[in-house]
Amino acid sequence: MTRLALLALAAALVASPAAAQNAGQIARVKAGASCPGCNLFQADLSRLEKTGQNLSRARLRQADLSLVVMNRASFARGDLRDVNAYGGVFGGASFAGANLTNASFVGAYLVGARFDGANLSGVNFSGAELDRASGLTQGQLDRACGDQATRLPRGLRIPACR
């Protein structure tokens, strides 16, 4: 292969996204459909109000979930890295086995949510309400952060965000 052909191939690979979002799947979720395993990468779902949606195993990386109301939704085993869930309401939602690395749940309502086996590395729970959340361990919370307004289940603590 010539050098010019290699450069053209390299430019094409860099220019095309590896796994871009799926607009049709995003539209279905916004309309209220469940979409397990969907590609919702960087989706703007802010202010969405849906209950009980199944988004298990979905790719929600870098999605905007700010100010949503998604009670009893399932995000189990999903990719929620770098999600912005500022002020979201997730009462009774399942994040079991989900990757929440570097997500922001500042001011979120997570009462009764499930976190069994979730990766909480770098998650900001400042001002979040996690009362009666289940599946949380001290080891998970040691990798996350919060503030004095963060409400946790009895016996657990969270490091302060820097």
Helices (H), the chain: 3-15, 23-30, 138-142
Largest CA distance in the chain: 65
C-alpha 86 chain-centroid distance: 11
Confidence of residue 11 (pLDDT cuts 50, 70, 90): very low
Res. 26: pLDDT tops 60: yes
Res. 144: pLDDT tops 80: yes
Domains of the chain: 36-162 (2.160.20.80)
In a 3-state reduction of DSSP, which class is residue 129?
strand
Both tokens of 13, joined, read 């690979």
Res. 8: pLDDT tops 80: no
Confidence of residue 15 (pLDDT cuts 50, 70, 90): very low
Query: Can you tell me the mean pLDDT for 69-93?
Result: 98
Position 21 scores a pLDDT of: 82
